[in-house]
Every structure is written in C-alpha cells, then in structure tokens.
A = this chain, B = another copy of it.
Amino acid sequence: MATEVNDGALAAGEVNGAAVEKTVTFTAVKPRLFVEASKVGDAVAFYKAAFGAEEVNRVNHPKRKADQELPVLISAEIKLANSSFLVSDVSEDSSATDKAVGSGLVFCLETEDIEAAVDAAVKAGAVADGEISEGEGACCGGRVGKVKDPYGVVWAICTPTAKKCGDVEA
C-alpha cells in the first residue's frame, strides 16, 4: 500500500530526483455524455426534470436552421450540485465511438433525501435498478438507490460521502 501511495506522488511539478517539470493547472473537469443527435434536447430536458439541473450554456450548430430536419442544438452544459457536465450530439466527436468507458462508469449523486430523489428521477423517465439498500463499499458505504436514465447512464443516488466514510486512510 505504501508503495502505491509513493508511486502516485510523482505528479508533474514535483521534484523526483530529476528535473522539476512544469506544473499544469486544470480549471475544470466536465464529463461529456454523448447521445444521438435527435436526443440532445430531450436529454437536457430530462436532466432538468429528474435532478433539477440547470442549463448554463448551449452550443448550436453553425449551419443548421430551426426549420431543418437535423436539430440545431448540438451540445449543452448542465450544472448540477456545483459540478458541470455536457450533453452532446455523438456525431460531433469521433472519439465517442468507443462506447466502453474503462470497465464501466456510473455517476454518484449525493443527497440526504434518497427516496425523493429516486422518485423524481423515475417520474421523469428513469428506471429504478433494484431497491434502495445499504451499499457495501459503493459510494463509501452509505445508503444507495440506483436508477438508469433513458440515455443509458446509471446514477447511484447515495448518502454524502463525508457523513459515511469510516475507513479513511489518505
């Protein structure tokens, strides 16, 4: 375990007995979810209805007009719990063609009111994935209720980490 922690300390900008590298500053991390072109608007509306997310930015196609067959909206930025994510037309980015993300990815969405959050998501069109249960390690071991949204994303609605983490070492 100690070895892993030490290996991880070789971040850019730290001294490693070798040259000191330039430190790169990142200002934001935003997951960008791709959906079919015709579903971008629906997906944005779903995330607003299901989670009370706020649309903070939208990008329209530079050439399409509202009266054409293809939708004008190609990407929108959604704000949810002080984080942002993007919902985009999959045809706009070739790197999205590889649908697998690692060995899987879910979004943990932390709230004190898991029942109401699951209910609201289901009402908006998500499908409950099992019952609300005590997680075992999942999202730090609190209670968790999972829903799968109409766009194939699993949301693990769970107790805030800060309240439930017992086995903390780092």
Partner-B contacts on A (CB < 8 A):
1, 4-5, 7-13, 21-36, 41-42, 44-45, 48-49, 51-53, 55-62, 66, 72-77, 80-83, 85-86, 88-90, 92-93, 95-113, 116-117, 120, 129, 136-141, 146, 151-154, 156, 160-161, 165, 167-170
Contacts and interface: CB of A to CB of B under 8 A. Distances in A.
B99 A26 contact: no
A81 to B, nearest CB: 4
A51 B86 CA distance: 21
Contacts of A42: 4
Contacts of A24: 51-52, 111, 113, 116-117, 120
B60 A105 contact: no
Contacts of A72: 1
Contacts of A89: 137
A81 B27 contact: yes
A57 to B, nearest CB: 6
Contacts of A161: 28, 30, 57, 77
A113 to B, nearest CB: 5
A28 B110 contact: yes
Contacts of A30: 107-108, 110, 139, 161
Q: When A and B form their complex, which 3 residue pairs have the shortest distance between CB atoms, in order from nearest? A: A96-B104, A8-B48, A26-B81
B101 A33 contact: yes
Nearest to A52: B11
A67 B90 CA distance: 46
A73 B108 contact: no
28 contacts: A1-B41, A4-B44, A8-B45, A8-B55, A11-B51, A12-B52, A24-B51, A25-B113, A26-B80, A27-B110, A29-B81, A29-B83, A31-B105, A31-B107, A32-B106, A33-B104, A56-B170, A59-B165, A62-B167, A93-B137, A96-B103, A99-B102, A99-B103, A100-B152, A101-B101, A101-B104, A102-B153, A103-B152
